[in-house]
A = this chain, B = another copy of it.
Amino acid sequence: MATQRTRLTPMKTNPGRFFEDYRLGETIRHATPRTVTSGDVALYTALYGSRFAVQSSDAFARAIGYPRSPLDDLLTFHVVFGKTVPDISLNALANLGYAEGGFRRPVYPGETLSTVSEVIGLKESSNRQTGVVYVRSTGSDEKGETVLSYCRWVLVRKRDPEATIAQEHVPTFAKVVDPSDLAGALPPLDASAYDLELAGSPHRFADYQAGEKIDHVDGMTVEEAEHQIATRLYQNTAKVHFDAVATRETKFGKRLIYGGHVISLARALSFNGLANAFALAGINAGRHVAPLFAGDTVYAWSEVVERAELPGRTDIGALRLRTVATKNQPCGAYPDRQGEGYDPAVILDLDYWAFIPR
């Protein structure tokens, strides 16, 4: 009888998928649609201290043409991303990269988000212990309209090294998203009503130049409670973030901070230097270069990679930025790639487009 009971257990809990469980072209509808609220917005502010005026003030947002303050784009990202974890990365060993990310429209409190992922690539590792799963994840609102899509690829364990994979494929990604494809994400803005003083910086589109580097100066130390509260808010269930007992057996011996938490910290720090680049447009490429742990202090610097005018938009332009985050090392010296790798302090290298008033 005890045996019979035990036998039933595996049928009810989700052990996560292994590499050989994915099929090329398959579509996965992820669980737990989520209505985002002003409660989530308050928590996002409290967790990162973000200060972009459009996202902070309904009055400011309305003055320039929004119906009210939209969510910080990264809050949308984390909510959309969190849903994919139980199906995509529960048994992942590493989150390898992001590409072709596009924020399609602003999201407002009260909207319900859900996520679907398509398996767009599968590549077994040569040692046959693991494989890389490539997905395109699409977050949609209640009506099914896309609000965000992005590709990511993760290294996933195989349950059985002997298992064979029906069909492998390594997708190629655009090196850079075309920002003019994303400009429709923002309502037409009354840029003359955009109050630079209230926004916290006098610098508009034309004030930034390709090649310019900006040290964001400030640092933020992260506590276990903070990243756990954030990661649960996004309903991201990866146990590596939460379970101090289980992670004792891992390579790091402790809880690992959700990579998206680092992205949000770096983005909030980047306000000091990029205060008017208030909307994310697209993610060209992203890489978590090294892990972050509680007790570490995050710093960031950005490089303006290029500037793009947007056809038909005289109100805004796009800045292509590379924001690099470090741990426990201020960024006055712009720590960056080194030889084949990176300066040992670097933890994040994110290449993205942001919109900024002209």
A275 touches B198 (CB 8 A): no
Sort chain A's interface into a size bin: 35 or more
Judge whether A330 is part of the interface by a CB distance below 8 angstroms. yes
B41 touches A43 (CB 8 A): no
A209 CB contacts on chain B under 8 angstroms: 8
Judge whether A42 is part of the interface by a CB distance below 8 angstroms. yes
A221 CB contacts on chain B under 8 angstroms: 224, 228, 242-245, 255
**Chain A 253-293 interface 0/1 with B at a Cβ cutoff of 8 Å (1 = within):** 00100000000000000001111000000000000000000
Judge whether A58 is part of the interface by a CB distance below 8 angstroms. yes
Judge whether A358 is part of the interface by a CB distance below 8 angstroms. no
Chain B CB within 10 A, most for which of A33, A220, A233: A33
A65 vs chain B, min Cβ distance (A): 16
Judge whether A203 is part of the interface by a CB distance below 8 angstroms. yes
A140 vs chain B, min Cβ distance (A): 11
A226 CB contacts on chain B under 8 angstroms: 225, 228-229
Judge whether A193 is part of the interface by a CB distance below 8 angstroms. no
Judge whether A230 is part of the interface by a CB distance below 8 angstroms. yes
Chain B CB within 10 A, most for which of A53, A218, A275: A218
Judge whether A86 is part of the interface by a CB distance below 8 angstroms. yes
Copies per complex of this chain: 3
The docked-state distance in angstroms from the alpha carbon of A142 to that of B245 is: 44
A248 vs chain B, min Cβ distance (A): 10
A142 vs chain B, min Cβ distance (A): 5
The docked-state distance in angstroms from the alpha carbon of A160 to that of B143 is: 60
Q: Which of A203-241 contact B (CB under 8 A)?
A: 203, 209, 211-221, 223-226, 228-233, 235-237, 239
A57 CB contacts on chain B under 8 angstroms: 32-35, 112, 114
What residue of chain B has the Cβ atom nearest to residue A244's Cβ? B221
A70 vs chain B, min Cβ distance (A): 12
A59 CB contacts on chain B under 8 angstroms: 33, 35, 112, 142
A46 vs chain B, min Cβ distance (A): 4
Contact with A225, one of B56, B213, B223 (Cβ below 8 angstroms): B223
What residue of chain B has the Cβ atom nearest to residue A42's Cβ? B39
Contact with A230, one of B11, B46, B201 (Cβ below 8 angstroms): B46
What residue of chain B has the Cβ atom nearest to residue A7's Cβ? B212
The docked-state distance in angstroms from the alpha carbon of A35 to that of B255 is: 35
Interface pick from A12-20, A119-127, A130-138, A176-184: A12-20
Judge whether A192 is part of the interface by a CB distance below 8 angstroms. no
A163 CB contacts on chain B under 8 angstroms: none
Judge whether A251 is part of the interface by a CB distance below 8 angstroms. no
What residue of chain B has the Cβ atom nearest to residue A1's Cβ? B211
Chain B CB within 10 A, most for which of A201, A243, A255: A243
B219 touches A58 (CB 8 A): no
Enumerate chain A interface residues (CB-CB to B < 8 A). Answer: 1, 4-6, 8-9, 11-15, 29, 31-35, 37-43, 45-49, 51-53, 56-60, 69, 86, 110, 112, 114, 142, 197-201, 203, 209, 211-221, 223-226, 228-233, 235-237, 239, 242-246, 255, 272-275, 295, 297, 328-330
Can you offer 7 A-B residue contacts whose CB atoms are under 8 A?
A15-B217, A34-B57, A38-B39, A39-B41, A42-B233, A51-B235, A219-B242
The 10 closest A-B pairs by CB, nearest first: A39-B42, A31-B200, A49-B232, A225-B225, A33-B57, A219-B243, A37-B38, A39-B39, A223-B225, A46-B233
